[in-house]
Amino acid sequence: MAVLAAASFPALAQAPVPSAQRGELFFKSTHGNDWSCASCHTENPLAPGKHVKTGKAIAPLAPAANPKRFTDAAAVEKWFRRNCNDVLGRACSAQEMSDVTQYLMSLK
């Protein structure tokens, strides 16, 4: 079945596999702007964060510390849409989102 899927969708077969290492680099980098994901979510996503502008407390981002993370698809989409715009000034690519998610899921 996996071979059939790859043969049916060549672009998918060539897409890079999500990488926790790329996700961590993305999470901690500023991308030419003032903010990174870590600006509000801290360098350690297992810890609580705080919004740099509003001071609002933010629950830990990593699912290992906050089991509610990544349980609601609509909330995840909203989170990426809002935060990618804040950090990048644009929407995140599917690769960026999958890398960051892989990184956050890898934390224990």
Residue 1 above 50 pLDDT?
A: no
pLDDT digits (tens, 9 = 90+) for 41-93: 999 999 999 999 999 999 999 999 999 998 988 888 899 999 999 999 999 99
Q: Return the beta strands (E) in 1-108 as ranges.
A: 49-50, 57-58
pTM of the model: 0.82
Going from N- to C-terminal start, the domains of the chain cover 26-106
Query: Roughly what angle, to the nearest 10 degrees, separates helices 94-106 and 20-28?
Result: 100
- C-alpha–C-alpha distance, residues 21 and 82, integer Å: 23
3-class SS of residue 57: strand
Contact yes or no for 102/27 (Cβ under 8 A): no
> Please, what CATH class does the domain formed by 26-106 belong to?
mainly alpha
